[in-house]
A and B are shown apart, each in its own frame.
Chain A
């Protein structure tokens, strides 16, 4: 098991390295620079700023200097928020985004698994078509449409829930979590349905019925475990996607999370901020993928014994 995890971590190093390199040169290739937007900048002031942020060095030297910092865990100073380092900004925004992502994921699982399993029990009937059509709509509907819609209905017409903020008023976390989780709920529903349909057609399900198990026990005990393995494998990429993709929701609901800094950094050509966030998020994606792969393998006894056998 340990060997499996270690080898996956080693494989991650070149992936992250390529991400860093590509991002580094791409942001610099984009037109404009971090200080172009300032109204009037005297040439000597601009030069001094560039020197301070090492922008006066040749490109390759900037690159290696950045790699050197990165190796020490230092993501550099932000260009747009003077005096604050990227590390600081990341870790102030992360808890909010992580909390939002977690709630969204829980909502996605709750709705998705329930709908998917429900649909798989009576395939190609109304019990299947209705939740799956909703799921299709959920996948197609972008969050910048769903968010305002929810705000309009539940915030303004019904006045049930607050329409913005995070942690200030009770209930203000509900709408953003649902908005973010909806599309993932739809994916989870489709994955659960497909997984369950496959397992429910297996011979051992017939064995379970022949033993006289009640239908709910057949589903919960014999089918669910195998049927949800695809969902478990999806959780890692899903959570990483939720973190990286939360900026739209954070912008709609005025939430002080990571996503908003990320988008603003891109507009501001805040090189270190873009790079820092990208590196951080890509590391998280790799990590969560690994965690969910390990979890999915662990759920399958055959793979489990193979993996732990390999580590002996």
Chain B
């Protein structure tokens, strides 16, 4: 018998604008001691289905319209709030996507850890503490005693996710629901957390329901995969069957979207458009004696027409490096030469002239567009500011930009909130292209996007790059994305360049141990082999 069997689950959200059916006739099961993964894009209803089981969707507007969720003898959907509360945190536990916001910043880690024991088992504080410290040790926290009395802000995202896992497991649940538990983490940390979840699942014989938008992430660990689209289950089965013989077009689309393989690389040596020499960006935080060496004596060339990948974990200084080249972060040493001119000393109108030739695309298309400007205004601003066109032929320029980035011309009077994440990133790309730049810094442009949208945006960037003969510095933490888009790659670690070379060289024969560990953490080894 299955540990959890969900039958014909229906959930809808009732708002003033009408009823939205978020989950339609969904069936899936989690077997004892196995990992079931639910895969889908944002809005596919995968999270809502799981939250609904535990009574965690806000109601109103959420409403469960029908179905059953058999957990042992009981039907979770028929329980009262108090009965459900008994199950939450004891028999069924959850971990969530963003460990930075899921722990209460006002309470110590210990206080939060022992809560499930105190509530469900009525354990004394001292007893609970012993148990909590043991578990912290088990999830790989180095000084568990000290951690117990620390506050969440003292820990990194990966450490906090370990704490979350300890908290979920503390009552030895039979089912663990993990909602995108690694999406907010760096790739190497992601690999560690995935391994931890898989190990704990084996040792403790629990069932896991793993929610993710990324097929690659679950490829290595899932026993059973359920693919959801627009509130419906479109395909389900064993991983090897799903990966090797996907039936539904949506599953095929998801698989095709996983960035893989390399492009034909341009290797002919050409002239360098940008020369970076001994570049140094140090920050001097108030009240600290030692400077933060975000970028520390870095030298490299960017050749005209190439896509240079820059990879590293958060905190490696890769974003700062991109911003320093754009003169958006201070340069505290060294030089940057753009087409023969040293940028590091440029000021005022001289700098503005170069700004026109180099543009930037940011990670978060939700934050980087002004919410009070229409697409038209957003695109018109750089065009007029840099004198690319006059008011007279502005409309035709904007129309051409819209065509370039694949947005319908009819959208120009809309505001950013009316667009999806992928569409917004297209607007941001359009804005960057408006000044007809030669060089673009793309700072994690696809990290905030769903995997299928990610593939579309990468293709768009490659096509535009070719069409406009762009030189691009592509910053990302995602090795698979870099491999897909870049000609050459730089690997950055703690402010220094540790390795560089053609993508093929670096990926096939990495020389540095750090690069090897990055490569080893790429999820979905089962997929590519």
A203 touches B101 (CB 8 A): yes
Bound CA–CA A207/B88 (angstroms): 10
Provide the bound-state CA to CA distance between A221 and B154, in Å: 21
Within the complex, the shortest CB–CB distance from B529 to chain A, in Å, comes to: 36
53-74 of chain B: CB within 8 A of chain A: 54, 56
Check A204 against B101 for contact (C-beta < 8 Å). Answer: yes
Contact B115 A211 (CB under 8 A): yes
Main secondary structure of the interface of B (DSSP, over half): mixed
Contact B56 A207 (CB under 8 A): no
| Cβ–Cβ contact A213 & B105, under 8 A | no
How many positions in chain A have a CB within 8 Å of any CB in the partner chain? 24
Contact flags B332-373 to A (C-beta < 8 A → 1, else 0) = 000000000000000000000000000000000000000000
Within 8 A of A (CB), among B142-177: 151, 153-154, 164, 167
**A187-210 to B contact mask, C-beta < 8 Å, 1/0:** 000000000000000111011111
Interface bits B94-133 vs A (CB < 8 Å: 1, else 0)? 1010100111111100000001100110000000000000
The CA of A222 and the CA of B87, in the complex, are separated in Å by 20
Select from chain B the residue with minimum beta-carbon distance to A209.
B56
B86 within 8 Å of A (CB atoms): yes
**A207 and B85 within 8 A (CB):** no
Distance, CA A282 to CA B89, complexed state (A): 52
The residue on A at minimum CB distance from B97 is: A203
Contacts of A217 in B (CB 8 A): 119
Decide if A210 touches B93 in the complex (CB within 8 Å).
Answer: yes
CB of B146, distance to nearest CB on chain A (Å): 14
Bound form: Cα–Cα A145–B526 in Å: 77
Tell me if B90 is interfacial: C-beta within 8 Å of chain A: yes
Query: B249 interface residue, CB < 8 Å from A?
Result: no
* Docked CA distance A179–B426 (Å): 59
> How many residues of chain B are within 8 Å of chain A by beta carbon?
29
Chain A residues within 8 Å of B104, by CB: 204, 207-208, 222, 226
Q: Which of A202, A214, A305 contacts B101 (CB 8 A)?
A: A202
B131–chain A nearest beta-carbon distance, Å: 15
The answer to whether residues A212 and B105 also contact, given A203-B98, A301-B153 and a CB cut-off of 8 A, is no
* A68, CB-defined interface residue at 8 Å: no
Q: Could you say which residues of chain B place their CB within 8 Å of the CB of A301? A: 105-106, 151, 153
Residue A225 interfacial (CB < 8 Å)? yes
Which one, A207, A210, A214, A310, contacts B103 given CB within 8 A? A207
Contact across chains for A210 and B105 when beta carbons are under 8 A apart: no
Q: A212-B90, A214-B85 are in contact. Are A207 and B96 (CB under 8 A)?
A: yes
A299 at the binding interface (Cβ < 8 Å): yes
Q: Given the complex of chains A and B, what is the CA–CA distance between A222 and B119 in angstroms?
A: 14
Residue A43, interface by CB 8 Å: no
Q: Report the Cα distance A217→B107, complex, angstroms.
A: 13
> B residues touching A (Cβ–Cβ < 8 Å)?
54, 56, 85-90, 93-94, 96, 98, 101-107, 115-116, 119-120, 151, 153-154, 164, 167, 287
Other than the given A211-B167, A212-B85, A214-B119, 17 more pairs (CB < 8 A) read A203-B98, A204-B103, A204-B105, A206-B102, A209-B56, A210-B93, A211-B88, A211-B89, A212-B90, A212-B116, A213-B115, A221-B107, A225-B107, A226-B105, A300-B106, A301-B153, A309-B287
